[in-house]
Every structure is written in C-alpha cells, then in structure tokens.
Amino acid sequence: MNKDRVSEYKSVRGLSRGLALLNALNRLDGGASPTRLAELTGLHRTTVRRLLETLQEDGYVRRSESDDSFRLALKVRELSEGFRDEQWISATAAPLLAELLQEVVWPTDISTLDVDAMVVRETTHRFSRLSFHRSMVGRRLPLLETATGQAYLAFCDDAEREQIIALLASREGPEYRLARDPVTLDNLLRKVRHRGYAENFMAWNQEEKIASIAVPLHSGGRLLGCLNLVYVAKAMSIEQAVVKYLPALQRFAGRIDQLLSEARKDD
C-alpha cells in the first residue's frame, strides 16, 4: 500500500481552524481579542468568535470579562504535558532519582500537574526497601491535601494559581473546602513559600499513616512539577524529616534546574 496516497477522508476544517487559534494564543502570552486572532489566522471574525466559544465551553480557553480577550485555560495543558513530562523526567530526572534513593532510602516521587491534581510520573517506590506502595506511577494526588499539591500551588504563578483554586472551589465535597477559604489557603501557601517546602503529616484521609515533604522543581524559572519524600509518620516528625532529608531534596531540585539549563544551551 502506498503510504503517501491521498487520504480517502476529507480534512475537518473546523478542527484545523480551532488548532490554529490555539496555536496563535500560545504565541500570545497575554491573550488576544477575537479581532486580533482573526488578523493572525486569516479567519473571519465570526468564525473566530464561534470557535472561541466552543473552545471555552470545552475548557481550552477562557475569556476575560474585563476586556473580552481570550487566553489559554488549564485544560490545554493536557494536549502537551504528557509528552514534555516524559521527555525531561525520563532523560534527566529518573537517573537522579536512583542516586537520591541511595542517600535518603525512603521512597520519592516526581509529580506534575494534570488540570486538577498532581500525577506521579516517576518514583522509587518499587526500589525502596521502605516502600509500602509498589505501584505509584499514574496515581493522582489531590492538590489541597498533599504536600506535593500544596507545593505546586505555592510556587506556580499567580494567574495559574487563581485558575486552579477557582476550579477546585467549584467542586463539591470536603476535600475542596479549603479552596473556598481564601484567607486560610493564602496563609498556608505563604508559609510554604517562606519555608521552601510543603508538608503533610497524616492529613490525607486516603493515606492516614504517612507523612511527606515536597519541594518544587524548576527550570529557568518555570515550574515543572514537584519532588516529594514519603515515609511512615510514626518513624519521625516533620521537623526531623526536614533536618534529615530536605537538603537532599533541594540539591536534587538544583541539579534538575542546572542540567535542563545546560541542555537548552546545547540545543
């Protein structure tokens, strides 16, 4: 069969146009009006408005009520995060996790944001003799109840934080109550930023016997995800864990930033 033959299916113009809008918005960090997007894409303004409303309804863009401009929303990250996460984690972070395990012994996880939760992308649980979970990759960690989630919320930029919290506040259930208490949540996240790490001591009802500390992972000032260390709570207090293991986690974060910066220079 000739792989280069013309497809028997017609291209879907609406899909192509929607992707063109997403591409244009991706290049315009501050967002753009429908008129500006029409100029950039060559599409009619009515078509642009109709496509933007569809993308907004599906959660891929959001409209500013102040100036009627459109910006990318959190859900658009689903289109690319998996690929980018896999690339830097497998090539750079995974080998360093193996070294970190030799130093800290307790299991560690690297997690990245997936719209409304942190997802474990790489872990040493399956190698740590102190692990109580062997299968962690792909597990979703709640943002408000885990050290990993709180670390991400504390260190992401203000606009992203506002979007995430607004999404969580719209959810029902006690696990989202903190998102509807802005004063308490803001004080908590300020404390995390001041200390440089987040903590959880038997505060997540799905894992009531564990404790953890987590630090952010950056590259060139951009937040990539978080690294946590998980241990049995009865083994030590948070304060003891911080003294004993936080320096190792922070060195790991520093090496990630350094190695990825060097990789960008070589590209």
CATH number at residue 47: 1.10.10.10
pLDDT category of residue 64 using cuts at 50, 70 and 90: confident
Number of structural domains the chain divides into: 2
Residues 110 and 210 in one domain: yes
User: What is the distance of C-alpha 58 from the center of its chain?
Assistant: 20
> Is 1 contained in some domain?
no
- Predicted local confidence at residue 238, as pLDDT: 97
Calculate ∠ Cα 129-211-204, nearest 5°: 120
Distance CA(164)–CA(143), nearest Å, equals 9
Q: Under a CB-based contact definition with an 8 Å cutoff, are residues 115 and 77 in contact?
A: yes
Residues 187 and 96 in one domain: yes
- Token pair 């004080």: residue: 187
Beta bridge partners of 154: none
Residues 181 and 216 in one domain: yes
For residue 131, give the 3-state DSSP assignment.
coil
- Predicted local confidence at residue 11, as pLDDT: 63
For residue 44, give the 3-state DSSP assignment.
coil
Distance CA(112)–CA(120), nearest Å, equals 7
Q: Under a CB-based contact definition with an 8 Å cutoff, are residues 80 and 26 in contact?
A: no
What is the DSSP track for 172-191?
Answer: -SGGGGGGG-HHHHHHHHHH
Residues 149 and 228 in one domain: yes
Least confident of 46-60, 212-226, 236-250: 46-60
Q: Counting beta carbons within 10 angstroms of the beta carbon of residue 157, is it exposed (0 to 12), middle (13 to 18) or buried (19 or more)?
A: exposed
Calculate ∠ Cα 218-22-167, nearest 5°: 60
Radius of gyration over every alpha carbon of the chain, rounded to an integer in angstroms = 21
pLDDT category of residue 4 using cuts at 50, 70 and 90: very low
- Inform me whether the pLDDT recorded for 94 exceeds 90: no
CATH number at residue 171: 3.30.450.40
- Domain region containing 27: 13-73
Q: What percent of the chain has pLDDT over 90?
A: 45
- Predicted local confidence at residue 99, as pLDDT: 92
pLDDT, tens digit (0-9, with 9 covering 90-100), for 152-195: 999 999 999 999 999 999 988 888 999 999 999 999 999 999 99
Residues 116 and 234 in one domain: yes
Distance CA(1)–CA(140), nearest Å, equals 43
pTM above threshold 0.85: no
pLDDT category of residue 36 using cuts at 50, 70 and 90: confident
What is the DSSP track for 148-159?
Answer: HHHHHHHHS-HH
Element (H, E) at 71: strand 70-72
